[in-house]
């Protein structure tokens, strides 16, 4: 039965639940004898043997990277309390190497005492200020006893399927090399951001572990990962000590044909129908082919925004491929007449411009879904991709054509990015849902769309977010693991509920789907801007690889660099963003922030003026210009800039006033306006408050009250200290 705050267990007073862990619930508690904070794991009924087993295992270990055991009771154990967050990728190489070395050291210590972990996975590893902490020895086993004490039915398998070794998945005898395989799965995920093995169910997952080779990726650490993941234990590192030694001097390595994924960009299909109104259909067909190919982990697919950036340019295919970093380009055209369509498609090799494949399809419009599958299958065959049976799966639900077309029209409106196009896009999605209430994609897009409108500041979050939540939940009731719907719900949970731990769990579910969608990476990176700079940088740098010409991705990456103290990198990224989209008002504003950080008020004013002249959302450009102008002594220009924000009562205006006060150092006023923006749930205020311009507020006596409104710690550490519950 769950324990409540105030409950006493011997000398320990329960303070609150931390979350699930291993065999039971984990609580934060006060040791009343020694006055220290501890973690207490209450053991589930029927798990006493496992409990004693874990207690014996932990008690035998004394290592800085292994959670320490303090005490045991009749049905609970008292452990070191660790402030940290579950391990997750992607990470940069240096950070991943540091983490991996500590894990290897912990395993070496455990193996030396004759103990296997047998459930090594990211959720059982916390990243704390003091370093890595290895948790949950509930499945630990003493080596060479010949007796597996795990409580499970005869013939069953104990552990977590995605991280098991092949011999563990097959129920065979284990030795330290099994933990080394699991270590390899963890390091693979840390570096790539995805799991090495996937499957639609546990049986498929276990089959992949035993039989499939993981998709390679480019990293100097990949040879170590590859050796850890050898199916034959004799081909792995033979001990954790040997592994730790290898991590001290990882081999230099260049990409080769065995480690670089085949890559493709699908350009917008030309509309040959003679009717500009049909452009949504040709664009939609190309986008659906992108989405179908993007479900293939073995294939790098450039996202829509970057692939469509060359529309109407008549650029050479080889130059396009070089710009996007791909080896193949798919071109096509669509001619629609009444209820029939003619589609031509051709796959071109970037190396010499040669045609690898071409085909013409004359079909009924109603056959559009089968045609998309045929084109994707042809590309897979030409590129000779090795696919497992569960790699490519169309959504189980096929919508009626009218609903599908409504979604394509909505997507076309989203690309325009104006208040008017927002409204039109919402109308098309609502029409698609009315035509087909079971269309999960339409519900998911509607959820994301409503969140975007609220964040842009055109309509109140309190009006839109409940509807967004309902749409996301409806999508997940139809497709429970849809990554985009999980990410949309995670954004709502974080930026509307300020429930950071639950948002993290939802994002982690979205990020376990392979391959990871660039949009999910981008949303995760944006969410991480609420105080997790390095994680935001890693996620957004990876998203940029698949969508290099998306100016919004690059703007968020610039913001991550600035928050991480990499001011020059932020300026350089802003300039690259403006080369792609010279009308990005937000990028000019971020340039102004960066120049203020460097003490260059003249350049900051120039950038702020440019951002203001381009329009954009008033809470962005007006607040920035007003702040910079007032800071340099031009109160008249500051007042003019603030006119766009009115008296501050409209939605999103408090964010603009808060930005102005943060720039000018008016801390008390900044706290007042920030609090109003937080009450409105205008999401950008959370990100602004973690930027350098808010440093004064975060160091002031006003910060604890402001932070409390967002369920953030008062020490300005952002969301990092709120994420202590293990990821699912």
Q: In the predicted model, what is the mean pLDDT of residues 446-474?
A: 94
Neighbours of 514 (CB within 10 A): 20
Nearby residues of 647 by Cβ (< 8 Å), 6 or more positions away? 653
Of 614, 603, 644, nearest in space to 626 by CA: 644
Confidence of residue 483 (pLDDT cuts 50, 70, 90): very high
pLDDT single digits (tens) 26-82: 889 999 999 999 989 887 665 555 566 656 666 777 888 888 888 888 788 888 888
**Which residue's entry shows tokens 């300039």?**
575
pLDDT, position 261:
64
Cα(420)–Cα(423) distance, integer angstroms: 5
- Residue 537 has phi, psi (to 5 degrees) of -60, -50
Of 57, 36, 66, nearest in space to 131 by CA: 66
CA 688 to chain centre: 20
Neighbours of 241 (CB within 10 A): 17
Residue 725 predicted with pLDDT over 60? no
Residue 137 · residue 58 · CB < 8 Å: yes
Q: Over the chain, what is the mean pLDDT?
A: 85
| Strand blocks (E) in 447-524 | none
CA 536 to chain centre: 9
Confidence of residue 137 (pLDDT cuts 50, 70, 90): low
Of 493, 496, 534, nearest in space to 510 by CA: 493
- Residue 26 has phi, psi (to 5 degrees) of -115, 135
Q: Provide the pairing of β-strand 125-128 with 141-142.
A: unpaired
Of 273, 270, 293, nearest in space to 283 by CA: 270
Cα(185)–Cα(164) distance, integer angstroms: 8
Q: In the predicted model, what is the mean pLDDT of residues 368-374?
A: 87
Peptide linkage before 90 cis (omega within 30 of 0): yes
pLDDT single digits (tens) 411-426: 988 877 778 888 999 9
The number of residues making up the chain comes to: 728
What percentage of the chain reaches a pLDDT higher than 90? 46
**Which residue's entry shows tokens 């060479």?**
144
The string over 99-138, giving b where at least 16 C-beta atoms fall within 10 Å of a residue's C-beta and e elsewhere, is bbbbbbbbbbbbbeeebbbbbbbbbbbbbeeebbbbbbbb
pLDDT single digits (tens) 141-165: 544 433 333 333 233 445 688 899 9
Neighbours of 720 (CB within 10 A): 22
Residue 378 · residue 202 · CB < 8 Å: no
* Two structure tokens written together for 176: 């330290």
Give kind and range of the element (H or E) at residue 300.
Answer: strand 300-301
Residue 397 predicted with pLDDT over 90? no
The CA-atom distances, in angstroms, between 616 and each of 171, 275, 589 are: 60, 31, 10
Cα(537)–Cα(519) distance, integer angstroms: 15
Residue 374 · residue 344 · CB < 8 Å: no
Whether the CA torsion 446, 452, 454, 457 is positive or negative: it is negative
**672 bridge partner residues:** none
Q: In the predicted model, what is the mean pLDDT of residues 686-699?
A: 96
- Residue 287 has phi, psi (to 5 degrees) of -65, -40
Confidence of residue 200 (pLDDT cuts 50, 70, 90): low
The CA-atom distances, in angstroms, between 368 and each of 230, 281, 285, 443, 508 are: 42, 10, 8, 21, 33
Q: In the predicted model, what is the mean pLDDT of residues 457-471?
A: 95
Range of 260-274, 277-291, 590-604, 608-622 with top mean pLDDT: 590-604
Which range has the worst mean pLDDT, 310-319, 459-468, 481-490, 695-704?
310-319
Of 233, 10, 20, 215, nearest in space to 135 by CA: 20
pLDDT single digits (tens) 213-236: 887 777 788 889 999 999 989 889
pLDDT, position 145:
38
Active site residues: 119
Widest CA span of the chain, in angstroms?
Answer: 83
Of 55, 56, 79, 57, nearest in space to 68 by CA: 79
pLDDT, position 4:
83
The CA-atom distances, in angstroms, between 363 and each of 283, 292, 340, 343, 483 are: 18, 19, 6, 8, 32
Give kind and range of the element (H or E) at residue 355.
Answer: strand 355-364
Peptide linkage before 348 cis (omega within 30 of 0): no
Q: In the predicted model, what is the mean pLDDT of residues 448-470?
A: 94
CA 479 to chain centre: 19
Domains of the chain listed by start with CATH number: 8-81 (3.30.200.20), 91-127+159-248 (1.10.510.10), 263-394 (3.40.50.10610), 399-516 (1.25.40.10)
Residue 551 predicted with pLDDT over 60? yes
Cα(167)–Cα(174) distance, integer angstroms: 7
Cα(99)–Cα(120) distance, integer angstroms: 14
Neighbours of 556 (CB within 10 A): 28
Give kind and range of the element (H or E) at residue 348.
Answer: strand 340-349
What is residue 119's three-state secondary structure? Answer: coil
Residue 182 · residue 164 · CB < 8 Å: yes
């Amino acid at each position: 039965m769950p324990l409540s705050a105030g409950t006493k267990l011997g000398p320990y007073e329960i303070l609150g639940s931390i979350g699930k862990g291993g065999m039971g619930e984990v609580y934060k508690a006060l040791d009343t004898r020694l006055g220290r904070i501890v973690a207490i794991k209450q053991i589930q009924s029927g798990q006493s043997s496992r409990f004693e087993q874990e207690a014996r295992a932990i008690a035998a270990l004394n290592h800085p990277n292994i959670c320490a055991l303090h005490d045991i009771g009749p049905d609970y154990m008292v452990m070191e309390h660790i402030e940290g967050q579950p391990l997750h990728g992607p990470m940069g190489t240096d950070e991943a190497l540091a983490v991996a070395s500590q894990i290897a050291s912990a395993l070496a210590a455990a193996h030396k005492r004759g103990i296997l972990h047998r459930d090594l996975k990211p959720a059982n590893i916390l990243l704390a200020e003091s370093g890595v902490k290895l948790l949950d020895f509930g499945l630990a086993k003493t080596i060479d006893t010949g007796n597996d004490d795990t409580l499970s039915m005869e013939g069953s398998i104990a552990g977590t399927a995605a991280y098991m070794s092949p011999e563990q998945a097959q129920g065979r005898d284990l030795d330290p090399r099994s933990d080394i395989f699991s270590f390899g799965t963890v390091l693979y995920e840390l570096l790539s951001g995805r799991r090495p093995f996937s499957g639609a169910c546990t049986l498929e997952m276990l089959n992949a572990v035993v039989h499939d080779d993981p998709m390679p990726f480019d990293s100097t650490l990949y040879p170590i990962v590859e050796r850890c993941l050898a199916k034959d234990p004799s081909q792995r590192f033979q001990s954790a000590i040997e592994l730790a030694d290898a991590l001290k001097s990882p081999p230099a390595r260049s990409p080769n044909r065995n480690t670089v994924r085949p890559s493709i960009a699908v350009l917008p299909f030309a509309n040959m129908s003679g009717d500009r109104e049909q452009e949504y259909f040709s664009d939609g067909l190309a986008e659906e082919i992108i989405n179908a190919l993007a479900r293939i982990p073995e294939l790098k697919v450039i996202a829509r925004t970057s692939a469509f950036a060359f529309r109407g340019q008549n650029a050479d295919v080889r130059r396009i491929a070089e710009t996007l970093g791909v080896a193949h380009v798919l071109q096509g055209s669509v001619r629609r007449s009444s209820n029939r369509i003619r589609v031509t498609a051709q796959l071109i090799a970037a190396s010499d411009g040669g045609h690898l494949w071409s085909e013409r399809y004359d079909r009924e419009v109603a056959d559009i879904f089968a045609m998309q599958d045929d084109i994707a299958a042809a590309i897979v065959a030409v590129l000779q991709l090795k696919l497992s049976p569960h790699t490519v799966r169309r959504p189980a639900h096929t919508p009626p054509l009218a609903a599908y077309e409504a979604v394509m029209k909505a997507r076309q409106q989203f690309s325009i990015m104006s208040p008017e196009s927002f409204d039109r896009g919402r109308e098309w999605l609502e029409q698609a849902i009315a035509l087909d209430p079971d269309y999960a994609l339409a519900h998911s897009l509607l959820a994301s769309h409503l969140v975007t409108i609220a964040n842009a500041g055109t309509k109140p979050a309190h009006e839109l977010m409940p509807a967004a939540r309902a749409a996301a939940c409806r999508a997940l009731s139809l497709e429970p693991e849809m990554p985009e719907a999980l990410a949309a719900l995670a954004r709502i949970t974080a930026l509307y509920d300020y429930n950071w731990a639950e948002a993290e769990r939802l994002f982690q579910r979205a990020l376990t789907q392979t391959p990871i969608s660039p949009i999910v990476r981008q949303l995760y990176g944006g969410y991480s801007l609420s105080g997790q700079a390095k994680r935001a940088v890693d996620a957004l740098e990876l998203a940029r690889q698949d969508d290099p010409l998306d100016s919004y991705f690059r703007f968020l990456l610039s913001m991550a660099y600035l928050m991480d103290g990499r001011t020059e990198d932020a300026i350089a990224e802003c300039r690259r963003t403006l080369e792609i989209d010279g009308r990005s008002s937000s990028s000019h504003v971020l340039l102004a922030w960066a120049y203020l950080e460097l003490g260059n008020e003249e350049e900051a004013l120039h950038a702020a003026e440019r951002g203001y002249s381009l329009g954009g959302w008033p809470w962005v450009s007006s607040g920035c210009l007003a702040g910079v102008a007032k800071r340099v002594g031009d109160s008249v220009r500051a007042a003019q800039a603030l006119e766009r924000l009115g008296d501050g009562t409209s939605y999103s205006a408090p964010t603009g006033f808060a930005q102005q006060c943060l720039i000018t150092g008016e801390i008390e006023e900044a706290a007042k306006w920030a609090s109003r923006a937080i009450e409105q749930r205008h999401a950008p205020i959370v990100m602004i408050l973690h930027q350098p311009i808010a440093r004064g507020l975060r160091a002031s006596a006003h910060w604890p009250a402001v932070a409390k409104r967002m369920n953030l710690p008062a020490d300005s550490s952002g969301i990092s200290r709120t994420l202590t519950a293990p990821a699912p």
